[in-house]
Amino acid sequence: MSGQDGSVTEAAGAGAGAETGTEREKRLAAEAAATLVEDGMRVGLGTGSTVAYLLPALAARGLDLRCVSTSPATAEVARRLGMRVESFEGLGAMPRLDIAIDGADQVAPSGWLVKGGGAAHTREKAVAATADRFVVIASSNKLVERLVPPIPLELAEFGLAGTLSRLGHVRLRDVPRSPDGGVIADYLGEFDDPAELADRLSQTVGVVEHGLFPAAMVSQVVVAQGDQTEICDVEH
């Protein structure tokens, strides 16, 4: 990079106590990203605790937007804030988005990401891939030297035992199925090259999607550290 989570709740007035450093960084990054959105845009809304700060910041701007959501929870909050959220299913959905904004669990210096702690990574990747510009928002604790396990997975229920055997080093999560009916799990094996692991996971029959996002998909990372916010371009 150059230039230097699964539930969503409304962040405004979220805490009776003092705002923690990490929560402040999430809010600052989200508020900075909200300023990147322009009137009339088609916007992809992510999922997680950082996006919870994005939604009210974006709604407060009063722009005329067409939005799609990566999770039912995000859609519910966005609509409650007065934002227009459309379905992203079927042939009638928008085929292209101007911008998508989402958080991440890990952000490497190369721009590679791990996402899916909130089990929404399949929909998150579909939305990010459709956007002309994918912007990641993060607090400083999400920046890592290298990506490490766990890597979130969504698996097909059919043939699940065989899929687990082929993958190895996988732990099923005790969480509800994804909105599309997939089984949520985590790959726990060590790896050095995220591109190599991403290719292996993608080629494994029974894997619906994994939580490794390539740098080529990411346009910018908005990261807050303390009171400072920086927008970093990802070099492709």
The DSSP-derived string for 18-57 is PPPHHHHHHHHHHHHHHTT--TT-EEEE--STTHHHHHHH
Contact 164, 130 (CB under 8 A): no
Choosing among 3.90.1310.10, 3.40.50.1360, 3.40.50.1370, 3.30.360.10, the CATH entry for 21-141+213-226 is: 3.40.50.1360
The catalytically annotated residue of 124, 145, 196, 235 is: 124
Contact 157, 181 (CB under 8 A): yes
E strands, the chain, where? Answer: 42-45, 66-69, 99-102, 106-107, 113-114, 134-139, 151-155, 170-172, 183-187, 207-210, 212-213, 220-225, 228-233
Residues of the chain with CATH 3.40.50.1360: 21-141+213-226
Task: Say what the pLDDT of residue 14 is.
Answer: 43
- Whether residue 25 lies in the annotated active site: no
Average pLDDT, the chain: 93
Residues of the chain with CATH 3.30.70.260: 151-210
Mean pLDDT across 135-141: 98
Percent share of the chain, pLDDT over 70: 93
pTM, full prediction: 0.92
Task: Say what the pLDDT of residue 236 is.
Answer: 83
For tokens 């899929």, the residue is 163
CA–CA dist 71, 49 (Å, integer): 13
* Domain at 151-210: CATH code: 3.30.70.260
Mean pLDDT across 181-188: 98
Per residue in 52-61, pLDDT (tens digit) is: 999 999 999 9
Percent share of the chain, pLDDT over 90: 91
Residues forming beta bridges with residue 229, ordered by sequence position: 224
SS3 of residue 138 by DSSP: strand
